[in-house]
Amino acid sequence: MRKQLMAAVIFPLALGQAGIALAQSSTSAQSETQRKANTSQATSELFYMIQQLQGEVRRLQGESEEQQHLIKRLQNQGRDRYIDLDQRILDLSEKMSAQPQAAEASGEKAGKDKGAAEIREYRQPEPEERKTYRAIQDLIHKQKKYDEAISRLYEFIDKYPEGDLTVNAYYWLGEVYLVKPQLEQARQAFSIVATRYEDHRKAPDAVYKLGVTLDRLDEKADARRQMEQVVNDYPESDAARLAKKFLDSGQS
């Protein structure tokens, strides 16, 4: 009788424990399935992100290669253009240097008296010429696009020769070359204004900047002579004031 009673008690308890274990096992299986599902989803999302990043890297590499190719092409074009432009300004500078010798051979006085010299009439610019010149000034002063400005200045000189603003264009060609710095080209441009257009309003500034350029080229004696010329030939100019400061400072 006792054994039957114990069996009646133990059997339900065993069933209860088995049910609990089965429920726990089922819950654990569901959790494992959910975890695997979450892991699979995360893996898929990571793979998709990696694909996107790889695509972006390939796009950026393509753009970089295109930019490098463009830069190389522009560099080659710029080199060829400067070779041509430098030769042109060198030829003109040599012509200007030969003029004093021709004047001396014809019996003209070598020294020039600025006060008694005949003032040249420079062609005044047309509206379109002024507009083009202002655009070049914007490239120089605001945009700082010096290479483009150099090309535009040469185009301006070719299109509008022997005008009032043409002399300005030569002067600013020297200024831009001085900033780059391409000192030999700057020397040539300033020399053109100083020798060919010595009666122009830009002449004092050009002679002074020629002196500055020569000083940077370590041609100290020639630099000093240019500064003295500014003081002697254009004594009332702002350039003469700057030249005096240069001479007084003993830079040369």
Centre a 10 Å sphere on the Cβ of residue 92 and count the other Cβ atoms it contains: 17
Read off the pLDDT band of 75 (50, 70, 90): very low
Q: Could you tell me the residue ranges of all domains in the chain?
A: 127-249
pLDDT value at position 95?
A: 52
Cα 238 from Cα 73, distance rounded (Å): 43
pLDDT score of 177 more than 60: yes
Residues 6 or more apart in contact with residue 170 via CB below 8 angstroms = 157, 189, 192, 193, 197, 206
pLDDT value at position 83?
A: 43
Which pairs from 169-177 meet CB under 8 Å and 24+ separation?
169/133, 169/136, 170/197, 170/206, 171/202, 171/205, 171/206, 171/209, 172/136, 172/137, 172/140, 173/89, 174/206, 174/209, 174/210, 174/213, 175/140, 175/209, 176/140, 176/146, 176/149, 176/150, 177/150
pLDDT value at position 235?
A: 96
Read off the pLDDT band of 210 (50, 70, 90): very high
Asked whether the whole model's pTM tops 0.85, one would answer no
* Average pLDDT, integer, range 1-12: 49
pLDDT value at position 171?
A: 98
Read off the pLDDT band of 247 (50, 70, 90): very high
Cα 164 from Cα 186, distance rounded (Å): 20
Tokens matching residue 50 = 């990696």
Per-range mean pLDDT, top range of 34-38, 80-84, 187-191, 248-252: 187-191
Per-range mean pLDDT, top range of 70-79, 219-228, 242-251: 219-228
Burial profile 163-201: b = 16 or more Cβ within 10 angstroms, e = fewer:
bbbbbbbbbbbbbbbbeeebbebbbbbbbbbbbbbbebe
Q: Does the domain spanning 127-249 belong to CATH 3.30.70.270?
A: no
pLDDT value at position 52?
A: 75
pLDDT score of 222 more than 80: yes
